[in-house]
């Protein structure tokens, strides 16, 4: 059985710092009244999440103007530890040309090929995060 | 700019095989009419996803009887490649004693400490997956 590991709540600044360390997250929304989730490449500017996505028309239509969740995490199975951050906020299509240009750097390039005409902004109206520190584990249960 | 990478749809058998290679996924549901997502440890038995979770009462109340999504993925930032699988189906609380015992192996132990009285089953009514093969990338855009 796992010994005591530590589950810590993370503050907003630490959540934003962690988000900036990874390039793939997951946008969570409703699609035809069903829960939907899609991995996406993203960047953080200020405290907002920006997603530039290939084939974005369908995704954009589903999320534009709606409250969505966005999640990123990093876990280590060998130590059974990691962190996760969830952003909750309104999603909208970025239409401002200056902002689109500013966001067009290499980090925002999606991995998936295709045209990437849409940039989605998620305002981080609520950010929550938690970190699970490595605990002491009984080796019998680690397999 | 990224050169052509390959985005492949995965069949159900391959999706289930990939799900069995990882131990952390994310359950997606609605909570007070807002999208919610929570990383969880999970196992796959047959074609269903089982989640044994610490602090499961709140999660169980939110998902029990509802259609939820479940996602797992694995990505490699260095090659900008990876796979993701999404399961969609009804979630329910497992109450059958024999099944609870069968699911009580070490692999189902959640990483998060605490009592784990609840096991959630997600029937995989729809499974979709995609794999992004490494492409050839312009090094200027890889930074």
Cβ atoms of B110 and B116 closer than 8 Å:
yes
DSSP code of residue A8 = E
Q: Is residue A141 very low, low, confident or very high in pLDDT (cuts 50, 70, 90)?
A: very low
Contact A109 B1 (CB under 8 A): yes
- Whether residue A37 lies within 8 A of chain B, CB to CB, comes out as yes
pLDDT at position A71 is 98
The full DSSP string for B22-88 is -SEEEEEEEETTEEEEEEEEEEEETTEEEEEETTHHHHHHHHTTSEEEEEEEEEETTTTEEEEEEEE
- Whole-angstrom distance, CA of residue B99 vs CA of residue B119: 10
Query: Rounded mean pLDDT of A85-106?
Result: 86
Residue A118 has pLDDT above 80, yes or no: yes
How far is A6 from chain B, CA to nearest CA, in Å?
7
Q: Which residues of B touch A29 (CB under 8 A)?
A: 35
The Cα–Cα gap between A44 and B64 comes to 34
Comparing A51 with B96, which gets the higher pLDDT?
A51
Contact B71 A34 (CB under 8 A): no
* Model pLDDT for residues B6-31, shown as the tens digit of each residue: 789 999 999 999 999 999 999 999 98
A5:B106 CB<8 A: no
Q: Is residue A142 over pLDDT 60?
A: no
Contact predicate B39/B25, CB 8 Å: yes
% residues pLDDT > 90 (chain A): 55
Q: Give the three-state DSSP class for B133.
A: strand
Tens of pLDDT, residue by residue over A27-48, are 999 988 899 999 999 999 999 9
What is the reported pLDDT for B124? 96
Arithmetic mean of pLDDT over chain A:
85
ipTM: 0.84
Q: Contact at 8 Å (CB) between B85 and B71? A: yes
Interface test with A, best of B28, B29, B88 (most A CBs within 10 A): B28
Question: For chains A and B, what is the number of CB pairs under 8 angstroms?
Answer: 120
Q: Could you tell me if B73 and B84 are in contact, meaning their C-beta atoms sit under 8 angstroms apart?
A: yes
CA distance B118 to B137: 45
**Min Cα–Cα distance to chain A from B54, Å:** 11
């Amino acid at each position: 059985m796992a010994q005591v590991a530590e589950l810590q709540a993370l503050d907003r600044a630490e959540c934003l710092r962690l988000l900036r360390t990874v390039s793939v997250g997951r946008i969570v929304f409703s699609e035809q009244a069903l829960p939907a989730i899609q991995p996406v490449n993203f960047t953080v500017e200020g405290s907002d999440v920006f997603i530039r996505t290939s084939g974005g028309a369908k995704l954009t239509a589903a999320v534009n103007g709606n409250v969505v969740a966005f999640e990123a995490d990093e876990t280590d199975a060998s130590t059974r530890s990691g962190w996760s951050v969830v952003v909750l906020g309104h999603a909208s299509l970025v239409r401002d040309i200056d902002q689109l240009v500013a966001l067009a750097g290499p980090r925002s390039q999606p991995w998936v090929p295709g045209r990437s005409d849409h940039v989605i902004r998620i305002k981080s109206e609520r950010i929550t995060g938690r970190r699970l520190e490595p605990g002491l584990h009984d080796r019998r249960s680690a397999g």
